[in-house]
Amino acid sequence: MKAFAIALLLIASPVLAEPPTPPDVPLSNPVQEQRAKAVMAELRCLTCQNQSIADSNAAQAQAMRMEVRERIAAGEEPEAVRAFFVERYGDWVSFVPPAREDTALLWAAPLLFLGIGVALVARRFRR
């Protein structure tokens, strides 16, 4: 029944395609554009499968790019722009994991593995 109702709606609604988004307009200042690009590459698109907003064609990624460019153009630091998005969507939105207690193990992993390895190997060496 529900499926039938949805099918009816589909027929009744003339347009169900999302309107196309306007094209990206890069910042005129190349240094700022570079900085904005770097931030975009580290923000995760909300409606995609594991893509950064820099790489996504999704409409919302486009809105987020616009926000990044405006904030960078207004002189905001890249860290502050990232914080703006994290405040709204949580740590998930940033591809840079936070440095906190609950990610200590993650950030310590390289040294931890190297350390364990060196400790294991040390006794194999002849003095």
Residues that bind another protein (CB under 8 A): 5-6, 9-10, 12-26, 41-42, 44, 46-52, 54-55, 59-60, 62-64, 66-67, 85-98, 102-103, 105-106, 109-110, 112-114, 117-118, 121, 124-126
Question: Quick one: 73 or 86, whose CB is closer to another protein?
Answer: 86
Instruction: Tell me how far, at minimum, the Cβ of 75 lies from another protein, in Å.
Output: 18
DSSP, collapsed to helix, strand or coil, labels residue 77 as: coil
Instruction: Tell me how far, at minimum, the Cβ of 74 lies from another protein, in Å.
Output: 14
DSSP per-residue letters across 91-107 = GGGBSS---SGGGHHHH
**Cα 9–Cα 13–Cα 16 angle in degrees, nearest 5:** 105
Question: Quick one: 71 or 75, whose CB is closer to another protein?
Answer: 71
Structure-token match 């990206």, residue found: 24
Question: Quick one: 17 or 75, whose CB is closer to another protein?
Answer: 17
